[in-house]
Each structure stands twice: as C-alpha cells, then as structure tokens.
Amino acid sequence: MKITIASGKGGTGKTTISTNLVSYMASLGKKVVLADLDVEEPNSALFLNAKIFNKQDSNKLVPSWNSADCTLCGECEANCAFNAILHLPDEIRVFDKLCHSCYACSELCPTNSLPMMPVKIGQITHFNCNEFDLIEGRLDLGQEMAVPLIAQTMEYVDKNYLEHIKLLDAPPGTSCPVIEASRFSDFVILVTESTPFGLNDLKLAVETMKVLKQNYGVIINRFGIGNDGVEKYCKNENIPIITKVKNDKNVALLYSNGKLIYNEIEHFKNSLDEIVSFIEDLK
Amino acid sequence: MKEVVIISGKGGTGKTSLSASFSYLEGSNAIVCDCDVDAANMHLLLDANFANRRDFYSGELAVIDPSKCTNCGHCFDVCRFDAISEGEDSHIVDQISCEGCHYCSRICPVEAISMQTQKVGDIYTSDIKNASKMVHAKLGFAAENSGKLVAKVKSEAAKLAVEEDRGFIITDGSPGVGCPVISSLSGADLVVLVTEATVSGLHDLKRVYELTESFNLKCVCVINKYDLNDAVTRDIEDFLIDKKVKLVAKIPYDENFTKAMAVAQSIVEFDKECELSQIILQAWNKIKNKTKEEDR
C-alpha cells in the first residue's frame, strides 16, 4: 500500500507527520518505508537517525550533438516542442534544462546525430534508520525539473519494498511535482492548518485530487489556532478528518531541534494512533 | 523602479505574511506580485478585488481523432511519458501524463493526432488595500507550466510598475528551489530570504541561498521565530556572516501573525503599534536602503 502525505500550503507539518508516523509505525512492528519526495527541499533525514546505506546519481537523458554526420538540416529544432534545441549556422546547441527527454529530436534525426546521453539532475540516497528505511530524492541546485527525479525515487522504492506500507512525503503546492507524488498512490493524506491560508490551499489541493480521481482525507495540524473554517469545509464536503493535532508550542520546539515528537508529547502520540488505525481501515 | 523578491526554500516560514506587510507599508508606491501561483495566498490579506482577469495559455496536449485512428500503435511506441494507451476503437491520451512534446502527432501515419493549446490558468490584476495594485494568478487544477505562468505574472507586474511610475515591485515567491522559484528570481534587484529557527529552516536556507548565489543576486535575510531555538538562530547568524548576507530582522514566535490572518489582515495593519510591526517596519526600511546600494 502506498500513501502520499501532501499539502497545498508549505509548512503545515507534512514532514513532521511523515517522519513521526514512519518511526511510530515501525516501533509497532509494521513493515514501513518512507520516501522523501520533496526533492527541492528534502528534510526528513534531519529528523531521523539516518545512516547512509547507498547513494546513486539520478540522471535524465538528453540529446548530445555528434557533429560527424550532421548535415545541419534543422529537423531537430523543428521537432523540439520545448525550445531546447537551437540550430545555428554551424552548430546544433542543446539546452539540457529545457529538455523533457521525449526523444523526438534524437529518433527523428535523419543522420542519428543526436544520441541520448545521461546528465545528472540529482541524487537518490537510501538511508537505514533503526527499524525502517528512508529513501530521499535530492535535486541538484539550478535544475528546474523535479518530476523525473520524483519518478525515479518512487521507482527505487517500488523495486526494493514489495510488502511494505510506503509513505511518500510530497512537496508543497498543487502543480506537477505534487501530482507526480500523488497519482500512483492508494490514498492521499492532506495536511493542513486551521488558518485562512491553510483553508485556501486545502481547497486547491482537494480540487487537484478530484482531477486525479484520488481518495483523500485531511489532518488538521495546529488545531486551535486561527478559526474553524477548515473543519466546516471538511464537514460540508464530506471529507474525512483523520485527526486533529493540537496547536502546541512544545511541538514546534522539538521540531526546531530536529527531534521526533511522539515519545515526548502524549496528545501527539494519540493523533498518530488515530492515523495508524485510519490506515489499517484502508486495507 | 526596484524589484524585491521574497523567497524561503521551506514553506510556512512566514514569507507571505511578510510580503503582505511590506506591501501594506509601501502602499501606492509599489506594485505587488504573487508568484506562488499554485498555492496563492497573498490576495487574502490584501483584499484583492480580482478586477481584471485574463486567460493564460501554455503548452499543448495531444488529441486523437477516433474516426481517423487505425489503432496501429505507433504513437504508443514512441511516447516516453506513458500517456498513450490502447482503447477499443482508437488509442487514447491520458491528459495528466501528456507532456505536449508533439512526437506522436509528428509520426502518426494517418494524421489522426492534433495538438491543442491548453489553458493552464488565469492571471488577475486587482486593486488592493492602501491604493496599491497587485498582479496574481491561479494555476488550473493539476496543470503544468507554473514556471511560465510565473514569468508572465512578473512581466505584467513590471509593465504596470513602469506605466504607473511606482518605486517598487514586491514579489512573493513560491517554496522550493525548482522551476517556479528560478522563474520568480529573474530580474530581482534584491532577494529577501525568509527562514525560521528550526533545523529544516536552516537546511533549506542554505540551498536557496546557493541558488541565489549562482544567479549572482544580492540577498538579505529575515529570521522568523528566532526565539524558538537560540542555538539554531546562532547557526543561521554564523552562516549569514560567513556568506556576508545582511540580517535585516529577527522576528519572535508570535501567534498574532495568525490572529491577523484570521481577520484577513497583515500584522502591520492588525496592530500598527505592536513590537512585531515595529520590527517589520524597520526591516522594510533596511531592505529599501539595500536596494539603493550599487554594489553586488
């Protein structure tokens, strides 16, 4: 089973929930693995006693110009929908960062002068924590496209963890990276907070999940701060509220130090119990 | 005219609350620009009226005409995005997976595939509080091309600022370090990095700083919730000293930010006299002075 933990708004507690949940579920004897798919700013490893087990480069394939047989016909430029190829009088120039790896230029080139070659876009790191593993995708700075790395990180998890419950910590927002991290899951947990920003972005996230035809539920974090807009919205829309995590400065203090919460704060652990039993019921 | 871009790497550090405060303080001398197009929030604090709306088209989707398709499967073979599958009478395109690369439409032997331009969002120009104006956008649900939408929002804000002879563009960026963030940084005169005194705040600050450095952009920093963790705050300050980044404000942990948000106000409007508002006012003045310095 695969569960994505997402949110429209950033900083609502996705990573806090993900890291505590994976650790708590493992301590209950469950087979569980966490994937950090917030590849632009991966943070999960900061909160877990994580030791590196394996590290590999993540590549994407882009065309690489081979001048020997090239007739400079310009077909490649015409076949690229992303302006990633420039046909100059005496040269074909490829802009790697704009390339979507569709292969059109390469395979339609009459002289096979644009073979696809790997370029590094980031790293996939496999960590061992005591009772479970963490797989982290980390985008190289300056790279624009997170989606291929997210897909490769998920592939690594799918290949290596057949029986496990897979928890996926998604990036914030509602655009391509979140969609990639959510579309193949069995269920999406949307973490929000009971503030107007939280509500506004929850609505956007819910609409996105509807387009993806995903099943989803909501965790209201920092419950008690702000107002009751989120709760009312969920009730009106019949969206299950999985748990409400109380607003508590002590949670923020532990978080600020990179510490897990559930061993220290009872109400937080109770919330995790509610999440665990919700997940059990999904099976 | 100077453009100040506020970004944070990590979400939820207070970027939008600060951007809205700066906008409120500068009033009619600024154009406000919300580049967090896939989770836009700033309009909630600035009472935007969505006065003028335009469609934004970008990117394309393959569409297969079932009356022409012979189900030969050539399109399926070339698609690298698993966007094409075999249906009963014709092949079918999955709209979410399609990247709009045109490959299938170029090679279809019976020309059954056409490319359709997609509307991916709306752009708005709004009147907002304090006689200012704001350019903002809403990306369509599950849509792509947020980077291009950001670029469009920015260019419209720049045009408006010139037309109306405003002194500043105040731009609220999105979290992360990827395409929408890179897009929102282009042309910035000064970048305000907003972080918080948490281990993840520091981690994300380092990454987002490196990004601005690679574009050779001038930065200042605000530490939010600085009193949450003194040790991390010291680490952040050491990092800033090492990188010669000016610290313009240390803001304490204060739930009044959220109380102001609950009544759709920025903190400087909610309680002008409070300590938080004074700190933010001073920060904004330091930021404005920094934009006047010529050196990088």
Tens-place pLDDT, residues A139-171? 999 998 999 999 999 999 999 999 999 999 999
Size (chain A), residues: 283
The B residues from 80 to 99 touching A (CB cutoff 8 Å) are: 80-81, 96, 99
Closest chain B residue to A44, measured at CA = B200
pLDDT in tens, A180-197: 999 999 999 999 999 999
Tell me the C-alpha distance between A145 and B241, whole Å. Answer: 31
Helix (H, G, I), strand (E, B) or coil at A88: strand
pLDDT score for B294: 66
Q: Model confidence over B269-291: pLDDT tens digits?
A: 999 999 999 999 999 999 999 99
Tell me which chain B residues have a C-beta less than 8 angstroms from the C-beta of A170: none
**A40: which chain B residues are within 8 Å (Cβ-Cβ)?**
175-178, 181, 207
> How confident is the model over B138-189, as pLDDT tens digits?
998 877 778 899 999 999 999 999 999 999 999 999 899 998 999 999 999 9
| CB-CB neighbours of A128 under 10 Å | 15
A137: pLDDT strictly greater than 60:
yes
CA B173 to chain centre: 3
Instruction: With beta carbons under 8 A apart, name residues in chain A contacting B41.
Output: 9, 197, 200-201
A211 chain-B contacts, CB cut-off 8 A: 96, 141-142
B10 touches chain A (CB under 8 A): yes
- For residue A33 the two structure tokens come to 């693995």
ipTM of the complex: 0.92
Answer yes or no: do A173 and B142 touch at CB < 8 A: no
The predicted model gives A4-19 an average pLDDT of: 96
Q: Do B261 and A144 touch (CB under 8 A)?
A: no
In the DSSP assignment, the letter for residue A141 is T
Q: What is the pLDDT of residue B124?
A: 98
CA dihedral B46, A195, A249, A267 (to 10 degrees): 180
Q: Which of A81, A195, A196 sits opposite B101 (nearest CB)?
A: A81
Give the burial class of A109: count Cβ atoms within 10 A of its Cβ; 0-12 exposed, 13-18 middle, 19 or more buried.
Answer: buried
- pLDDT at position A169 is 98
Instruction: Strand B52-64: give its sheet, edge to edge.
Output: B52-64, B113-128, B132-139, B30-34, B168-172, B2-7, B190-196, B219-224, B246-251
Q: What are the chain B neighbours of A82 within 8 Å (beta carbons)?
A: 101
Find all residues with CB under 8 Å of B197, minimum gap 6, and list them.
A256, B223, B224, B225, B226, B227, B228, B229, B230, B232, B233, B236
User: CB–CB of B39 and A174 under 8 A?
Assistant: yes
pLDDT in tens, A215-250: 999 999 999 998 999 999 999 999 999 999 999 999
Please tell me which residue of chain B has the smallest CA distance to A98.
B179
**Contact across the interface for B142 and A179, Cβ inside 8 Å:** yes
Inform me whether the C-beta atom of residue B173 falls under 8 Å from chain A C-beta atoms: no
Q: Among candidates B290, B237, B287, B233, which has minimal Cα distance to B21? A: B287
Note the residue count of chain B: 296
Distance CA B290, CA B226 (A): 22
Tell me which residues of chain B, numbers 100 to 159, contact chain A at a CB-CB cutoff of 8 Å: 100-103, 106-107, 139, 141-144, 146-147
Please state the rounded mean pLDDT for residues B80-101: 94
Q: Residue B295 above 60 pLDDT?
A: no
**Mean of per-residue pLDDT scores for chain B:** 95
Place A42 in a pLDDT band, splitting at 50, 70 and 90.
very high
| For A80, nearest residue in chain B (alpha carbons) | B101
| Rounded distance between C-alpha atoms, residue B72 and residue A104, angstroms | 19
pLDDT score for B296: 46
Tell me the average pLDDT across A199-207: 96
In percent, the amount of chain B with pLDDT more than 90 equals 91
Comparing CB atoms, the residue among A40, A46, A175 nearest residue B38 is A175
Contact, A135 vs A33, CB < 8 A? Answer: yes
* Residues pairing with B132 in the sheet: B128
